[in-house]
Amino acid sequence: MTNNLKLKFSLASGLVSAIVVLAPIYGYAADFGVANKAVSYSDLDLSTEAGASTLLNRLTLAADAVCPMDSTTFALHRLYKTCVDATLGKAVRNVNRTTLSKLYTERTGFTVTTQLSMNSR
């Protein structure tokens, strides 16, 4: 084998090994969303943008608090970011308010489907 071909083979083998090792970590990231932190919003009027913005800020801080933070490597930072995004999205979906969902989409670019319900807090 030429040196160039050996180098390409080594790089490809290393990449495959990294993917195999990191796959279970990324699969586990979805499980981070099960951590809970109570966020009160009974003092807010969620039909207003100001109320929805305040709640979104509270939810963002809570998501940050329940996700394990480790930025020692790019992969671990990415895992943390995935956890925060998934946890925040789930919280917004659970609150189920159109104003909050719209603001969340504007800020993050992610969409959340709200369901019509008789839920009033």
pLDDT < 70: residue spans in the chain: 1-35, 114-121
pLDDT number for residue 105 = 94
Measured CA to CA, the distance from residue 48 to residue 71 in angstroms comes to 36
Query: pTM for the full model?
Result: 0.65
Phi-psi region of 96 (alpha: psi -120 to 50; beta: other; left: phi over 0): left
Residue-wise pLDDT tens digits, 56-75? 999 999 888 888 777 778 88
pLDDT of residue 44: 92
Could you give the angle at the alpha carbon of 105 between the alpha carbons of 98 and 60, nearest 5°? 95
Per-residue pLDDT, 18: 37
Indicate the Cα dihedral angle 4, 7, 8, 9, nearest 10°. 120
Res 1: pLDDT: 52
- Residue 65, pLDDT score: 84
